[in-house]
Chains A and B, each alone.
Chain A
């Protein structure tokens, strides 16, 4: 029955319609399930979620306007995601592709994730084919450029990055309906990048800023990650991990969820080591799933935090 409806909507595309059942339209694209999934799988990031909701609503309305033959031009969908490391920019980009695909603004919904190396060549005449190749691959989907500011290297005026930027800008403008470009990077450097490439700023419609996570959110993320791998914290280990987060945050090179993931990987190592160190016993599934306080407390982070306290 759904397909019948969809086909009807598809046929009605050419002819302008006067009225559209909003609820049915909303349900037919099933955007709610993507947004719910976003809420469930992504902890925190309230401003980002609000923004995505807004964009999704705008696109839904735009879609309806297209059916009513009111839409004048294809909406500009290029985005820029700024935020500190590990705040979920790549994860959200993947979800974004899903949302755009459901709403019919990208045809295939795949994501091509690239960095400077994939776009910029090493000698004269290498850059253009390389960039075009990537753009061709991304057609019908989303091109995610991580750390986009590396494309522009003002200190070297013969840098080939500028060539890649020019090709990108041209395609972003002329083939808006074929692909969506998402630029990502740290806020301050992206700001500098946009300042030196005003063409980019004007072609990017949505600037989304990813805030850092609070301690509680980081804990929730850790528990979600553990749950996905069939582990869980014992009560004392949870308390220890709360202290771990607070200590780790004060140390350099803290990268939000990524640091948490790495910490969990090391904790799993220590847990495995602890289990294996005593061979003469029978293990239950609870034994191998549970992370104990000692696994967490053995971390170097506590030693370093302690040292600074003594030092102070």
Chain B
């Protein structure tokens, strides 16, 4: 099951050229671009690991694309996303976030139904990949 999170996730995966154009857009807006990765695809998992520090004060996307290539070399079997943080007053939040790398196989989620008091049913989603320990989930 293909994970859809953040911008562009209903489009086909972006090519490097397209990613670079998006990064350039962020830089021209003055946002700090971050690279994050994880192997827990649960939609409520908002705290992904950061690759290096947020990248401030850059002028050109090439530097970030280099970092992304490095990150892919190490964590190419996990999800990697880019986010653009706008530090300007009044925003001070992430303005854009999109997935730039995903595992080859995405096993998807299992739906658990828990019968609770009365006739209540509680639903929870469980990523099949997350059954295995962190770092061994894909590939």
The reply to whether chain A is a binding partner of chain B is: yes
List residues of chain A with CB under 8 Å of any chain B CB: 107-108, 110, 129, 135-137, 139-141, 175, 178-179
Q: Does B64 contact A (CB under 8 A)?
A: yes
Interchain nearest-CB distance for B54 vs A (Å): 12
> Number of B interface residues, CB 8 Å?
12
Interchain nearest-CB distance for B104 vs A (Å): 27
Residues of A within 8 A of B63 (CB): 135-137, 139, 178
Q: Does B60 contact A (CB under 8 A)?
A: yes
A139 touches B62 (CB 8 A): yes
Interchain nearest-CB distance for B101 vs A (Å): 20
A141 touches B62 (CB 8 A): no
Residues of A within 8 A of B64 (CB): 136
Q: When chains A and B are docked, how far (Å) is the Cα of A141 from the Cα of B58? A: 11
Residues of B within 8 A of A135 (CB): 63
B60 touches A108 (CB 8 A): yes
Q: When chains A and B are docked, how far (Å) is the Cα of A135 from the Cα of B70? A: 15
Q: When chains A and B are docked, how far (Å) is the Cα of A178 from the Cα of B64? A: 12
Residues of B within 8 A of A141 (CB): 59-60
Q: When chains A and B are docked, how far (Å) is the Cα of A288 from the Cα of B66? A: 55
List residues of chain B with CB under 8 Å of any chain A CB: 52, 55, 57-64, 66-67
Majority secondary structure, A binding face:
loop
Q: When chains A and B are docked, how far (Å) is the Cα of A178 from the Cα of B24? A: 14
Residues of A within 8 A of B67 (CB): 136
B66 touches A107 (CB 8 A): no
Pairs across A and B, CB under 8 Å, 9 listed: A108-B59, A135-B63, A136-B58, A136-B63, A136-B66, A137-B58, A140-B60, A140-B61, A178-B62
Which 5 residue pairs spanning A and B have beta carbons closest together?
A140-B60, A136-B63, A178-B62, A139-B62, A139-B63
Given A136-B67, A140-B59, A141-B59; 11 other pairs, CB 8 A cutoff: A108-B59, A110-B59, A136-B55, A136-B64, A136-B66, A137-B57, A137-B58, A137-B63, A139-B63, A178-B60, A178-B62
Residues of A within 8 A of B57 (CB): 137
Interchain nearest-CB distance for A96 vs B (Å): 17
Interchain nearest-CB distance for B19 vs A (Å): 15
- Which of B59, B64, B67: most chain A Cβ within 10 A? B59
Residues of B within 8 A of A175 (CB): 62, 66
Residues of B within 8 A of A108 (CB): 59-60
B59 touches A137 (CB 8 A): yes
Residues of A within 8 A of B62 (CB): 107, 139-140, 175, 178-179
- Which of B55, B66, B67: most chain A Cβ within 10 A? B66
Residues of B within 8 A of A110 (CB): 59
Q: When chains A and B are docked, how far (Å) is the Cα of A140 from the Cα of B67? A: 15
Interchain nearest-CB distance for B103 vs A (Å): 27
Q: When chains A and B are docked, how far (Å) is the Cα of A136 from the Cα of B64? A: 7
Residues of A within 8 A of B66 (CB): 136, 139, 175
Q: When chains A and B are docked, how far (Å) is the Cα of A107 from the Cα of B55? A: 19
Nearest to A110 among chain B residues (CB) is: B59
Interchain nearest-CB distance for B90 vs A (Å): 26
Interchain nearest-CB distance for B41 vs A (Å): 29
Interchain nearest-CB distance for A282 vs B (Å): 49
Interchain nearest-CB distance for B69 vs A (Å): 11
Q: When chains A and B are docked, how far (Å) is the Cα of A179 from the Cα of B59? A: 12
Q: When chains A and B are docked, how far (Å) is the Cα of A136 from the Cα of B52? A: 13
Residues of A within 8 A of B58 (CB): 136-137, 139
Interchain nearest-CB distance for B21 vs A (Å): 12
Interchain nearest-CB distance for A8 vs B (Å): 21
Nearest to B67 among chain A residues (CB) is: A136
Q: When chains A and B are docked, how far (Å) is the Cα of A141 from the Cα of B60? A: 8
Interchain nearest-CB distance for B52 vs A (Å): 8
Q: When chains A and B are docked, how far (Å) is the Cα of A140 from the Cα of B60? A: 5
Residues of A within 8 A of B55 (CB): 136
- Which of B55, B58, B61, B67: most chain A Cβ within 10 A? B58
Q: When chains A and B are docked, how far (Å) is the Cα of A137 from the Cα of B60? A: 8
Q: When chains A and B are docked, how far (Å) is the Cα of A46 from the Cα of B66? A: 39
Nearest to B57 among chain A residues (CB) is: A137
Q: When chains A and B are docked, how far (Å) is the Cα of A137 from the Cα of B61? A: 10
Interchain nearest-CB distance for B60 vs A (Å): 3
